[in-house]
Structure 1
Amino acid sequence: MTATSLRLVAHAHTTALRQARFGGPDDGLDEGGRRAALALAQDRPDRRGHLGVDRACLSSPAAAATQTADALGLLPTIEAALADCDYGDWTGRSIEEIAVEQPQALHEWMSEPESAPHGGQSVAALRDRVGRWLDRQRGAHQRITAVAHPLVIRVAVVHALDLPLATYRQVDVEPLAIVRLTGRGSRWHLRLGPPRVA
């Protein structure tokens, strides 16, 4: 195999995602998210289906990611580089709450990727961490599935396509979305198309 095939799978819904809250690593899937992940697994004709049979399966350490992988019948290795952004003091709080109590700080965080007014991690720092991991995978020459938070996948796409970081706001990744990247040489390519059965 001359290329690396990477499938980035967004974890299923959590209560924090549904309520527009800054989640934490202990947030598990809500009931709807669990059912959706199980339904996706049932859609796989050979119990592998469009996620394929991979040489490597990885997961963020977050409960929602490992629970999604489990529901999909995957057996991932935990990869710390795929952890969600650290939201510091905002963890568990809603965007609406922060908008009322700290409007300037929220504006700063949403408009300046290098900013981390919550005392946690900036989006720029998240992109750097995920980007380093992504760069290492490009030369792996294997098929990899990785389950992570939608924001992690958004910054991964921006890094892979060498886009300005601010464009991460224009990349929407829904829960259980599958983003396919192919690594050839020094570049990643975004692959769009129907699910494939391996």
Structure 2
Amino acid sequence: MGLRPGGPPPGDRRVAGLSGVLLVRHASTPGMRAACFPAPDADADAASLARAAALTQTVARAAAGAVAWAAPSVAAGQTVAALGLAARVVPALAEVDCGRWQGQPYERVAREEPDALASWLTDPHAAPHGGESLAAHAGRVAAWLESVRAEPGVVAVCDAGAIRAALGYALGLDPLSAARFDLAPLSVTELTVTRAGWRVAHVNRKVLI
């Protein structure tokens, strides 16, 4: 992730090592595999954490000299530890607060509250579960992204929703459009900063061991 052959695009602020923001989706959880709404107190799978530990050197090389941040969830903290990073916890990177749906299977909510779920999926300002709207979530992630844009390099470990919100902000997408990005556990997404604004270097890249 250093300088590419031929040099960076005009206005690019790339430096040796990481430039911009490297977003790492945290290790998988039982809730992810069971298609449940996110729950911040869910532990990461042991097998996924073992895989994260195997990526330590790769991530360390990419993140050399960068500031590390982590979402406040248990799985994010466990992933940070497995990667050998010393990260600051930042509430802005938390997944969207799903209120009473937290930890519940999507299938159950779709069966028991179809109208409420439909509202949440079509209106980014709706929060029928009593938690946070997708628009509010996108706003706090965008504010955090702007707060770190002057850093020479940033690594952030969080879940898919925060990464999608960051991509949406960088690309000028609404929260519903940004939700279409597929992001695998332990995949990495990189945003870079230029004088013209944010660029997307890559999305959902699986880091090779």
Q: Give the TM-score normalised by structure 1.
A: 0.89
Match of 1:165 in 2: 175
Alpha carbons of structure 1 residues 175 and 165: separation in structure 2 relative to 1, 3 Å:
same
Give secondary structure in 2 for the equivalent of 1:139.
coil
Q: Structure 1 residue 10: deviation in Å?
A: 0.5
Matched, 1:153 2:163: yes
Q: Is the 8 A contact 1:138 1:188 kept in 2?
A: no
Map residues 1-198 of structure 1 onto 2, 5 A cutoff. Answer: 2=13, 4-41=19-56, 44=57, 48-49=60-61, 51-140=62-151, 142-192=152-202
- The gaps in structure 1 that reach 5 residues or longer are none
Does the aligned pair in 1 maintain the 2:63–2:154 contact within 8 Å? no
Following superposition, the deviation at residue 186 of structure 1 comes to 4.9
Encode CA deviations 1:72-95: one digit per residue, 9 max, x unaligned.
111101111111111100111110
CA–CA distance in 1 between the matches of 2:133 and 2:101? 12
Where relative contact order (Cα < 8 A, 6+ residues apart) is larger, the structure is 1
CA distance in 2, matches of 1:195, 1:83: 22
Q: Which moved more, 1:167-176 or 1:148-157?
A: 167-176
The Cα shift of 1:195 comes to 8.7
User: What do the CA deviations read for 1:40-85 (whole angstroms, capped 9, x no partner)?
Assistant: 23xx36x723x33133100001111111111111110111111111
Identity %: 34
Which structure 2 segments of 5+ residues have no match? Answer: 1-11
- Paired residue type of 1:151: G
Let me know the Cα RMSD of the aligned residues: 2.1
Q: Is the contact made by 2:187 and 2:206 (CA closer than 8 Å) also made in structure 1?
A: no
2:164 aligned partner, one-letter code: R
- Whether the 8 Å CA contact 2:141–2:166 is kept in 1: the answer is yes
Contact 1:54 1:145 in 2 (8 A): no
Report the Cα offset of residue 30 of structure 1: 1.4
Aligned length: 191
Tell me whether 94-103 or 32-41 shows the greater mean CA deviation: 32-41
Given that 2:188 and 2:206 are in contact with CA atoms closer than 8 Å, whether structure 1 keeps it comes out as no
2:5 is matched with none
